[in-house]
Each structure stands twice: as C-alpha cells, then as structure tokens.
Amino acid sequence: MKPLRCSYMHYLMPKRGILSLHSGCNIGNDGDVTLFFGLSGTGKTTLSTEPHRPLIGDDEHCWGDDGVFNIEGGCYAKCINLQATSEPEIFKAIRFGSVLENVMVKADTRQVHYASSALTENTRASYPIQYIDNARIPCVGPHPRNVVLLCCDAFGVLPPVSRLTLEQAMYHFISGYTSKVAGTEMGVTEPEATFSACYGGAFLMWHPMKYAAMLAERMQKHGTQAWLVNTGWTGGSYGVGRRMSLRHTRAIIDAIHSGELSRAETVALPLFGLQVPTSCHGVPSDELQPCLSWGDGESYAEHLTHLARLFVNSFKQYLHDADEHVGSDLAERILGGGPSLEQLEEFEGRVQPLAGAAGGKGAGAGAGAKAGKGKAAARAAGPAGTTEAPAGAGAQRVTV
C-alpha cells in the first residue's frame, strides 16, 4: 500500500500544482523547516528524527502554496543495529502498538535482537508518528528554509557537506546518488553506485526534470538553501577509509540550521564544482575536505574522476526530449549543475583514471541507447555519446 500511495501522490499532486516528495521533514523552534532526501542507508529517518526539532514526518511529504504537509500518519524506520544511545527517539517509539518486520527475537528473554540480519538486512519498525515524543501534530509546516540531499558515498571522495547552487540542487536531486552498502539490501557485501531519480525513481509518474523544476521554483521563491551531505566514507574508499560518524554528521546538520555553514568560507570541489565549507564546529577541518584526509592524493583524484564519470553516464538517460518537458534553457541550466565530459577530459589529462570503464548498476546509458534531442543532450553526449529515453513521459512544461 505504501508504494502505491506514494506513486499515486507523485501523479496527482503535480497536476494540482503541488510538489510531492519522498523525503523526511522536521521543524525548528523558530519555524525553520528542513527537508531531508536520501535513499536507504543514508540516514534520512535518523537525521530527521532528533530531540530538538519536532518531526513533521520521516518519508513522504508535499510542498504546496501554504508550506509542507505529511501524507502519512506514521514512520517506517530501519532498525538493523538500532541502539538506544545512538537513536533514542526511534528506540523509544518501538513499543506496544508498533510493528516490527523481519527482526529476530531471543527465545529465552523475548528481547528483540536488533543486531541480527539472519532474515534480511532490511529490518523495519512501523509506529504512529505520535510515538515520537516531539512530533508536530498536525504534521504541517511553513515553507522550508533548507533542503538536505543525503548520499552514502562509498568511494569516499564527496565532502561531508557542500553548499549547492540552484542548478546543482536540481542536478543532484535528479541524480539521486548513493552507494548500496552492506546493511541496505540482502546480498550486498561490496558497495556499488546507484542512482534513483528524485530519490524515489520507482514512484515517479512524470519526467524527473518536472519534479526538479517544481522544487527549484519553490526554493527560489522562498529563499531555500540546498546542501549535499555525505554520510558515507572519509579518508579513503570502502575498505580503506572509515564511515562518517553520526556525531559529525549531526554537527553538520546543526551548523546548517544555525546558519554557521551559510557564512563559512568555501573551496570548490574539482569536477563537481561544489562549494565545500572549510570549517564547521565539531568536525575536524581535514575531514571537511576529502583531498586532505586521503593519504594518497593520486588515488583520490582517480576515484573522484571515476565517480564523476558515473554521474555523467547516469544523467544521459534524463536528457531525451528534456527540452519538451522543461524547455531547452532550463535543461541546459540543470545539466550545468554537474560534471561534464569536457571537464572530465581535461581532468583525466592530468590524472591516470581508474582501470576499466565506469559502469555497473545505475551507470546509466550505454552503447545502443536512443539518441537524445536538444542542446542539453548534445552537450552531454559529446561527439559519439548516446542517451536513453527516460521513464515517465508526458510531463508538462515547467519553467523556473
């Protein structure tokens, strides 16, 4: 029922001029709302559920003329390795009236064994939103002040936090990047890059650029700032580096809410052009800039190039007939929010790339795909590039 409802809202709401979102949402004491986007394992539910900011919802919302509202009456949280010390709000919400899925129970004590993945890594808890002590009832709020795009980058090259332009926000919202890692799906033992349009590709009923254009239009109108937050690896890729600590990620989110990161000095991340803050209270400065936390600068550059090429390849699938959905000018602006083939060629001239082509799941279009139309598709494809036709045709023209 949950996927069906989400798909229906993704069809119906945009027809009514309301943006449907697969996101978490909370609100501060001064009425500042934050939206959290992220795929499984990125921390969307964990970061949107915290004691000092009332929870509006953890997964499905809409953004209309009067602000945001939740379209669910409860939460659906992952509970693999759940601990009262690290996620106390979710831990306390699991009580009489909640439903646990796929968990193991110790036969002698009847205690839930949250660390067990004997049945699946995807253990879940469903509970009414009222079970969160500081839930906001009714689940509505004003227009968001911040939008946080979460990813779990197992390559370890994206910074813990980046400040995004409007074009970058649209690009990364459409890309919906993360890495599947152990603990997100059964059988996943090594990380692999994956892309899901608008962080909910399975639910989209219209062209992804339609949703991105609606998001950007609202952000621009209400002065909303977007951020890309990496909860994945630092100091190296998976197997070499370490996972970002939840404590540091929470410090970053706090700094976003306080305005500290909006005032911070930044440096640009090569290829992606992301603005990376050089300081954040509670986070080591070398961790904020991945190139400083890697012991091998050449290896870092190779991994950065590899990930950028994955983004370029993945994004090609959304450029087929993009001009018809959002207009050629906006499609060109969106494409400019990410890495380009020209940048890659220049960068690769100075760095030896990773062995092998950038492929795998979620890598996007390949040989034999349909040719895209319009300026944006031509720019992305290059002299011999190809693109795929996207799912969700029939979107109406939207301008920002």
**Contacts of residue 12, Cβ cutoff 8 Å, sequence gap at least 6:** 20
Nearest residue to 244 via CA among 331, 128, 325, 153: 153
Per-position pLDDT tens, the chain of length 400: 788 889 999 999 999 999 999 999 999 999 999 999 999 889 999 999 999 999 999 999 999 999 999 999 999 999 999 999 999 999 999 999 999 999 999 999 999 999 999 999 889 999 999 999 999 999 999 999 999 999 999 999 999 999 999 999 999 999 999 998 765 565 666 678 999 999 999 999 999 999 999 999 999 999 999 999 999 999 999 989 999 999 999 999 999 999 999 999 999 999 999 999 999 999 999 999 999 999 899 999 999 999 999 999 999 999 988 988 899 999 999 999 999 999 999 888 776 544 444 444 443 333 333 344 566 765 665 544 333 333 333 333 333 3
Angstrom distance (rounded) from CA 358 to CA 308: 9
- Residue 292 pLDDT: 93
For the beta carbon of residue 235, count every other beta carbon within 10 angstroms.
17
Please state, in angstroms and as integers, the Cα–Cα distance from residue 104 to each residue in 97, 118, 124, 181, 183, following that order: 18, 7, 11, 21, 15
Angstrom distance (rounded) from CA 226 to CA 69: 19
Angstrom distance (rounded) from CA 385 to CA 400: 28
CATH architecture of 1-73+139-400: Alpha-Beta Complex (3.90)
Contacts 24+ apart (CB under 8 A), 241-248: 241/156, 241/293, 241/294, 244/160, 244/287, 246/43, 246/46, 246/86, 247/282, 248/160, 248/282, 248/283, 248/284, 248/287
- Residue 189 pLDDT: 62
Domain boundaries, the chain: 1-73+139-400, 77-131
Q: At what angle do helices 341-348 and 297-315 cross, to 10 degrees?
A: 160
Please state, in angstroms and as integers, the Cα–Cα distance from residue 348 to each residue in 99, 236, 294, 333, 337, following that order: 51, 20, 19, 24, 20
Burial of 366-384, coded b for 16+ CB within 10 Å and e otherwise, reads eeebeebbbebbebbbeee
Question: What is the distance, to the nearest Å, from the Cα of residue 226 to the centroid of all Cα atoms in its chain?
Answer: 11
Helix, strand, or coil (residue 50): strand
Angstrom distance (rounded) from CA 55 to CA 31: 12
Question: What is the distance, to the nearest Å, from the Cα of residue 189 to the centroid of all Cα atoms in its chain?
Answer: 21
- Residue 1 pLDDT: 76
**Contacts of residue 265, Cβ cutoff 8 Å, sequence gap at least 6:** 277, 278, 279
Q: Is 77-131 a domain of CATH 3.40.50.1970? A: no
| Domains 1-73+139-400 and 77-131 fall in the same CATH topology | no
Angstrom distance (rounded) from CA 320 to CA 305: 25
The answer to whether 74 and 61 have CB atoms below 8 angstroms apart is: no
Angstrom distance (rounded) from CA 55 to CA 347: 43
Angstrom distance (rounded) from CA 211 to CA 223: 18
Angstrom distance (rounded) from CA 124 to CA 240: 29
- Residue 40 pLDDT: 87
The answer to whether 159 and 269 have CB atoms below 8 angstroms apart is: yes
* Torsional sign, CA 23, 47, 223, 322: negative
Strand pairing of 74-78 and 124-128?
antiparallel
For the beta carbon of residue 309, count every other beta carbon within 10 angstroms.
21
What's the number of CA atoms in the CB half-sphere (13 Å) around residue 356?
Answer: 6
The answer to whether 163 and 277 have CB atoms below 8 angstroms apart is: yes
